[in-house]
A = this chain, B = another copy of it.
């Protein structure tokens, strides 16, 4: 990995990103919630459900990068206020995507973790802007990006002074058409081989199919991931976006104990 300085392992210790009570990179974390914040009821109920099922952080989109300008673009500030309310009630720290460098400053008051989406992985203005904060950043891999390019994007953030980067594998684009994307599970051990940064997996965007998320989540745990990012909706069939991939409350609450048992087991055998 030619030229990388700040993101490669060398003799550096593993990076631990502290979010509320969680030391990401050491503690395994489950981040769950709806694709987008649609209204107060949907978000609060989903927050309660995922918390009860064992999730550690709440995700919810306020600004949605949508292929079409005619699709729902997110509730913006209103969504962030709803997420605040959900945090107040459940205590779950908030993860939400930032799309525009002009929003980084004020959004930091509403979210605990910035998410940089796959389409913006190489939005260098945005990377530099979050790099100037100390906020934790989940940096999703671009659907067309090599591991090296992904690490270079993390390097942009670290180079501005923010060490709190969590990498997130979310599937790459291939010719295969059964799933929305192809989860590159190898990215997990490969990143651990190259870098000191924590790496989590998003099986929801990777597969786009709720029926596969349980198997992929368990595979990610076995491969050594530091966490999972899973879409959950209290009524998936009514979701305003990505409804095919959202888990129902029941599916999610059946999955989380397996994830935790497997994680404990893996710590025992490795």
Nearest 6 interchain pairs by C-beta: A144-B144, A222-B222, A189-B215, A219-B223, A119-B122, A100-B125
Q: A174 touching B172 by the CB < 8 A rule?
A: yes
User: Is A11 positioned at the interface, with any CB of B under 8 Å from its CB?
Assistant: no
* A: number of interface residues (CB 8 Å): 66
CA distance A262 to B212 in the complex (A): 20
Nearest-CB distance from A96 to chain B (Å)?
Answer: 15
Residue from B65, B155, B206 within 8 A of A186 (CB atoms): B206
Q: B258 touching A68 by the CB < 8 A rule?
A: no
Q: Which residue of B is nearest A122, CB measured?
A: B119
Q: List 25 A-B contacts (CB under 8 A).
A: A3-B70, A5-B70, A65-B124, A67-B149, A68-B155, A69-B124, A69-B156, A70-B159, A102-B125, A123-B123, A146-B175, A146-B178, A147-B176, A148-B177, A174-B174, A174-B182, A178-B190, A179-B186, A179-B190, A182-B182, A183-B184, A189-B216, A190-B212, A193-B212, A219-B219
Interface string of A198-221 (1 = CB under 8 A from B): 000000001100011001101111
Chain B residues whose CB sits within 8 angstroms of the CB of A120 once the complex forms: 122-123
Q: Which residue of B is nearest A177, CB measured?
A: B146
Add 9 more A-B contacts to A100-B125, A144-B175, A174-B182 (CB < 8 A).
Answer: A68-B152, A102-B102, A120-B122, A148-B178, A176-B184, A186-B212, A189-B215, A218-B266, A219-B222
Q: Which residue of B is nearest A2, CB measured?
A: B68
Nearest-CB distance from A19 to chain B (Å)?
Answer: 25
Q: B262 touching A258 by the CB < 8 A rule?
A: no
Chain B residues whose CB sits within 8 angstroms of the CB of A108 once the complex forms: none
